[in-house]
Amino acid sequence: METAVHEAVNQAGAHGGAFVPIALVIAVAALAGLGFLWLRQPPLVGFILAGILLGPTGFGLISEDADIAFLGEMGVVVLLFFIGMELSIRAFVLSLKQALLVVLGQLATAAILAGIIGFALEATTREVVILSFVFAISSTVVAMKMLDEMGALRGDAGKIAVGVLIAQDIAVVPMLIFVSSFGGDGFDVTQTLIKVVVAVGIMAGLLWYFSRFGKLKVPFSDKVEDKVELLALGALALCFSAAAISGVAGMSPAYGAFLAGICVGNSTLRSRIIPVVEPIQSVLLVIFFLSIGLLIDLQFIWDQLFSVLLVAFGVVAAKSVLNVMFLRWTGSSAQTALIAGLSMAQIGEFSFVLAAAGLSAAALNQDLYRLVIAVTAISLLVSPVWVSVMRRVEASLSEGLESYRNALALAYAQELREVDRGRAFVGTLYSGVRTRLKALSHARHERRRRKAEASSSEAKTTEANDT
């Protein structure tokens, strides 16, 4: 009996020790998130950094784990469920035409960019397709956070940006179907197209129904609207049931979750369910971004530093310029296009999901997968810089400046003045140094002339004396 008690105590101690790294990871993630929040930056950047520092290529406190990856996938499913709940169908339908045109333009230019990078890296056609999907997607979480902090989320820039982001999230569904179909030796075009048509048709049908007939009345809603536990359990049951059915049907779990979110968001229980599900979604998203940090290979980034940085900043810069161009061409004002375009400059969180699907289908090699993870993470990590740029440009444009060049010049007037002062200082210093060098050269030349004259005079005197 005593031996059994000792064994039970030892086992409990062993299991208790397993909570130490978990507690440390959560504490570091919380502190990192609070730190970036204090700096008025997206906390998710802190979560990614926490995963990098504590991951296999960091301090090695935690290793890549299937359970963590699974929780991260759950975070994505709940994220799409929540996006579906918050989707305002009427507002989305009003911006649908422009959003679709912008997304099509983003996909086309992303395909060209992916083709150039794929050619340089000798990538296959399937890998180029996956890269184009990855580069086209922006981060819904980061973009909406930036716009909200600027107070632009409810304005024209926020409305069109949200419309484009929602259209991108919807486009993720056929993208995942395509990428998942790459597995095996062949690619069944007919079957894949049928899946995509069915998926888009169901979604279009739902959007049409709710835009025409309004709210969906939930049976017994008056009896459960104050039961927080039942609301949370029922919402998550619907979310994961729809995700499971969609996955079994060969679509995508995220697609089913998004449809379930649309149904809940257009029901009579919407206002009750959103505040209940939001904390659960936040926790799973933290785990998702932590898992991103765990996937980042610091040794690979160090070995391929130039390539990773070139691709990352090239993609972000290209997306910034092209987003603004597409928004201007589709009718947005200069101010709206600039703010909305910069908010969508980064690569999105669903790019990780697309890359993972490509790796699972053996359509993406390990090196390209690590490159995608590194480039996407860097684009998210530099998002605080984009927040600063957006705030300055928005403040300048609010004064009525319609020229991007003038707005940027006013936004960075202080820095430009410092640059001018520095240029003037360097010019003065250069002129002074040049004058001194000329003086020194002239003095040296004069000394040599006098020395030559003295030597010549001395030689003549010696010759006269000898004579």
Q: CA separation (Å) from 405 to 172, 400, 409, 411?
A: 34, 13, 6, 10
Classified as helix, coil or strand, 122 is coil
Please list the residues that pair with 267 across neighbouring strands: 216
Q: What is the pLDDT of residue 162?
A: 82
Delimit the domains of the chain by residue range. 64-400
Give residue 333's pLDDT band: very low, low, confident or very high (50, 70, 90): confident
Instruction: Identify which of 343, 339, 318 has the alpha carbon closest to the alpha carbon of residue 328.
Output: 339
Mean pLDDT, range 273-294, rounded to an integer:
78
Q: What is the pLDDT of residues 129-183, one digit of tens each?
A: 899 998 888 887 778 777 777 777 778 888 888 888 888 877 887 888 788 777 6
Yes or no: say if 139 and 346 are a contact pair by the CB < 8 Å rule. Answer: yes
Maximum distance among all alpha carbons in the chain?
A: 135
Q: What is the pLDDT of residue 193?
A: 77
Top pLDDT among 69 and 457 is at 457
Most confident of 10-14, 41-45, 293-297: 293-297
Classified as helix, coil or strand, 8 is helix
d(CA 425, CA 427): 5
Q: What is the pLDDT of residue 425?
A: 58
Classified as helix, coil or strand, 411 is helix
Residue 13 has pLDDT above 50, yes or no: no
Q: CA separation (Å) from 459 to 445, 447, 450?
A: 21, 18, 14
Residue 418 has pLDDT above 80, yes or no: no
Yes or no: say if 236 and 281 are a contact pair by the CB < 8 Å rule. Answer: no
202 contacts: CB under 8 Å, gap ≥ 6: 259
Yes or no: say if 253 and 244 are a contact pair by the CB < 8 Å rule. Answer: yes
Instruction: Return the sign of the alpha-carbon dihedral for residues 43, 46, 48, 50.
Output: negative
3-state helix, strand, coil in the chain (%, to 5): 80, 0, 15
401 contacts: CB under 8 Å, gap ≥ 6: 407, 410
Q: What is the pLDDT of residue 385?
A: 67
Instruction: Identify which of 435, 3, 406, 355 has the alpha carbon closest to the alpha carbon of residue 175.
Output: 355
Give residue 417's pLDDT band: very low, low, confident or very high (50, 70, 90): low
Residue 233 has pLDDT above 80, yes or no: yes
Instruction: Identify which of 379, 376, 347, 331 has the alpha carbon closest to the alpha carbon of residue 102.
Output: 331
Residue 310 has pLDDT above 50, yes or no: yes
List, as one string, the DSSP characters of 141-178. HHHHHHHHHHT-TTSHHHHHHHHHHHHHHHHHHHHHHH
Mean pLDDT, range 440-449, rounded to an integer:
70
Q: What is the pLDDT of residue 5?
A: 41
Give residue 221's pLDDT band: very low, low, confident or very high (50, 70, 90): low
Angle separating helix axes 228-248 and 66-86, nearest 10 degrees: 110
Give residue 3's pLDDT band: very low, low, confident or very high (50, 70, 90): low
64-400: CATH class: mainly alpha
Mean pLDDT, range 407-428, rounded to an integer:
55
- The mean-pLDDT minimum among 43-57, 73-87, 259-273, 416-430 falls in 416-430
Residue 400 has pLDDT above 60, yes or no: no
Q: What is the pLDDT of residue 157?
A: 81
